[in-house]
Chains A and B, each alone.
Chain A
């Protein structure tokens, strides 16, 4: 089955700096890649996603890039703010009948933004 690796596991940045989180996946059938942000004690919230027919997607300070050939995708947060501090999860979902609806998650990255 699909295997998603996420790095780094922890990331500390100064307010205003950029943060990059990287994920790799193993199943070439994966075609949907969402990113979730989970603040302490709260539910994971979808912040951005990308499909395999697109190389990059941007939403204000957040962007995601996808390299299908290398099977990796990354989350970029610019001009970080203390409220960006949270655990971020990447996920992949193969377009295959037997696995539709299933998300394979990375282990998460604890991002801390220092004021």
Chain B
């Protein structure tokens, strides 16, 4: 069974640009969550999608957005990049459900560097 796949693995962007990251969950998983990981702040929750609907949102500015497609693949977009957006962006997929939490498995992440 294939794991969670994130593309691209590495990105270098300049300030002001926008970027789109992609996440393909484990087959059969309907929930995809996104986290930002930085040395100083740990794992910060961005948002979670379940069956194409955003179910949860963290405390990030509106420059951070996401979506989920009917095949459960998800994308996140960051517009008007700032230096502080440099981080490892991780997505996690889980089977989840309307009333229960299940194991979440992470992708290898996309390392974004903003210069």
Write the nearest CB–CB distance from B90 to chain A, whole angstroms. 7
Closest 5 CB pairs of A and B: A105-B43, A101-B48, A32-B101, A43-B106, A93-B101
Chain B residue numbers with a CB within 8 Å of A45 are 106
Main DSSP-derived SS at the A contact region: loop
Contact, CB under 8 Å: B42 / A95: no
Contact, CB under 8 Å: B90 / A102: no
**Could you show 8 A-B contacts with beta carbons less than 8 Å apart?**
A43-B108, A100-B55, A100-B98, A100-B101, A104-B45, A105-B42, A105-B43, A107-B42
Q: Which residues of B does A touch, CB under 8 Å? A: 31, 33, 35, 42-43, 45, 48, 50, 55-56, 58, 90, 92, 94, 96-101, 103-109
Write the nearest CB–CB distance from B53 to chain A, whole angstroms. 11
Given A49-B103, A101-B101, A105-B42: A42 touches B33 (CB 8 Å cut-off): no
| Number of A residues, CB within 8 Å of B | 25
Chain A residue numbers with a CB within 8 Å of B100 are 95, 100
Give the A-B contact count at a CB cut-off of 8 A: 66
Contact, CB under 8 Å: A102 / B106: no
B4, closest chain A residue (CB): A43
Chain A residue numbers with a CB within 8 Å of B35 are 105
CA distance A46 to B104 in the complex (A): 8
Write the nearest CB–CB distance from A98 to chain B, whole angstroms. 7
Chain B residue numbers with a CB within 8 Å of A36 are 106
